[in-house]
Amino acid sequence: MSVDTEVKPYQQLRRETMERDRGLREKVMSLEEAAKLVRDGDHVGIGGCTMSRTPTAMIWALIRARRKDLVVSRSITSSEGDLLFASGVSKHIITSWFTQGIVWGVSKVMRHHTEKKLARFEEWSHMSMGLRYRAGAMGIPFMPSRSMIGSDVGKRVGDSLKTMTCPFTGEEVVLLPALNPDVALIHVQRCDAYGNAQLDGLQFMDIDMAMAANKVILTTERIVSNDQIRRTPDQTRIPFFTVDAVVEAPMGCAPHECYGLYEPFFGHLDEYAEITAKDPVKGPQQYLEEYYYGPKSWPDYLAKLGMDAVLDACRRGRSVHND
């Protein structure tokens, strides 16, 4: 098992949690300030899945801050994984599936980095990724499970996966090691200044990830009052004391989607797929220059995507509310 994601001894997990400031306090800051909470070499869990609720704005800020050697984990990794590799921010992504999306073919950028051994794509089954975060959220060192048995996916992760005979039934089960990210990046539709977060639509693995992580950076479409949160506490999915930073980042998943608000920017994603397929080295560099390093600010990045594209994504996104 790689040292960076080894199961944390329980005493350490508890001590690190006790040391965090868990009081009810305001923690609103800028993307640039939040990026400083991530250290080189950290294990960073990324919320959302494929092209949905990807915390793009925070990833954008980390790439601009030139973070290095991050070990990244995510349920399913899309175009953001290409950019984490191509920018040099990460050389190791732990995930169940890695490519922009089936309709665009296999990612040439992922292929370039993994086939040339410039970076590592550590593959676990999707349920196993989820159960690893869940074990982390539960404060237990592992979770027994019944997939990844017998297959080469299980074999390839080597000693990271153990099997045991169930002491109750005598059956063989696999043991999945807990994942407790140093930092989780999660984008939500709304939260208050303390970090009480409400999610609409698909939750993916975000709640377990927030509970498992040692720090959570929330980006949000909008910051609402604590009174508004208290009107619908049943909608709150992430409690404030797990959260270390709240950043208001409207359209913060673009060009990916945020449930009920905007769908993926398909035209932009087609262009991205085209330039990266043409040249898996220069393509993503050109993209990073134009959309990541070049813009002055997050609104400036959105302006580059274009008002037409933003409005089109929003029109489609809101269509889930139609009867």
Partner 1 sequence: MTKHSPAASAYTASELLAVMAARLLKDGQIVFAGVGIPLLAATLAQRSHTPHLTILFEGGTIGPFIVPGELPPSTNEQRCTRRSNMVLPITDVLLLLQRGYVDVGFMGGAQIDRFGNLNSSFIGDADNPRIRLPGTGGGNDISSLTDMIVAMKHEKRRFVADVDFITSPGWMKGKASRAERGLPQGGMWRVVTDLAVMGFDEDTREMKVLALNQGVTREQVQENTGFKLLFDAHVETAEPPRADELAVLRELDPERLYTA
Q: Which residues contact 320 (CB under 8 A, 6 or more apart)?
A: 201, 259, 260
Which residue carries 């008002």 as its tokens?
307
Q: Does 181 bind partner 1 (CB under 8 A)?
A: no
User: Whose Cβ is closer to partner 1: residue 96's or residue 198's?
Assistant: 96
Among 24, 106, 303, 311, the residue binding partner 1 under the rule CB under 8 A is 106
Phi, psi (5° rounding) for residue 19?
-75, -15
Q: Is 82:283 a contact under the CB 8 Å cutoff?
A: no
Look up residue 111 and give its two tokens: 């292929």
Q: Is 31:58 a contact under the CB 8 Å cutoff?
A: yes
Q: How far is the CB of 102 from partner 1 (least distance, A)?
A: 5
146 binds partner 1 per the rule CB under 8 A: yes
User: Are the CB atoms for 217 and 39 separated by under 8 Å?
Assistant: no
Query: Does 263 participate in binding partner 1 (rule CB under 8 A)?
Result: yes
Q: Which of 56, 90, 128, 196 binds partner 1 (CB under 8 A)?
A: 128
Question: Does position 236 bind partner 1 by CB under 8 A?
Answer: no
Q: Residue 18 phi/psi, 5° resolution? A: -65, -30
Rounded Cα distance between 251 and 77, Å, is 19
Determine which residue in the list 4, 27, 91, 121 makes contact with partner 1, applying CB under 8 A: 121
126 touching partner 1, by CB under 8 A: yes
Using the rule CB under 8 A, is 95 a contact of partner 1?
yes
Residue range at the interface with partner 1 (CB under 8 A); choices 19-27, 104-112, 272-280, 303-311: 104-112
Q: Counting contacts by CB under 8 A, is residue 175 touching partner 1? A: no
Q: Is 176 exposed, middle or buried, given 0-12, 13-18 or 19+ CB atoms closer than 10 A?
A: buried
Place of tokens 């913060």: 252
Q: Is the CB of 150 or the CB of 306 nearer to partner 1?
A: 150
Among residues 5, 79, 87, 99, the one that binds partner 1 under rule CB under 8 A: 99
* 45 touches partner 1 by CB under 8 A: no
Burial of residue 199, with CB atoms counted within 10 A of its CB: 0-12 exposed, 13-18 middle, 19 or more buried: buried
First-last CA distance in the chain: 49
Alpha-carbon gap, residue 196 to 241, rounded angstroms: 8
Residue count, binding to partner 1 (CB under 8 A): 59
Q: For residues 67 and 134, which CB has a smaller minimum distance to partner 1 in the complex?
A: 134
In the complex, the smallest distance separating the C-beta of residue 173 from partner 1, rounded to whole angstroms, is 8
Q: Is 260 in the site for partner 1 (CB under 8 A)?
A: yes
Q: Toward partner 1, which CB reaches closer, 206 or 244?
A: 206
Q: ∠ at Cα 66 (214, 297), nearest 5°?
A: 95
* Site membership for partner 1, residue 50 (CB under 8 A): yes
Cβ-count burial 230-255 (b if 16+ within 10 Å, e if not): eeeeeebbbebbbbbbbbbbbbbbbb
- Confirm or reject binding of residue 41 to partner 1 (CB under 8 A): no
Binding stretches for partner 1 (CB under 8 A) = 49-52, 75-76, 95-99, 101-103, 106-107, 110-111, 114-115, 121, 123-128, 130-131, 133-134, 145-153, 156, 163, 172, 201-208, 257, 259-260, 263-264, 266, 317, 320
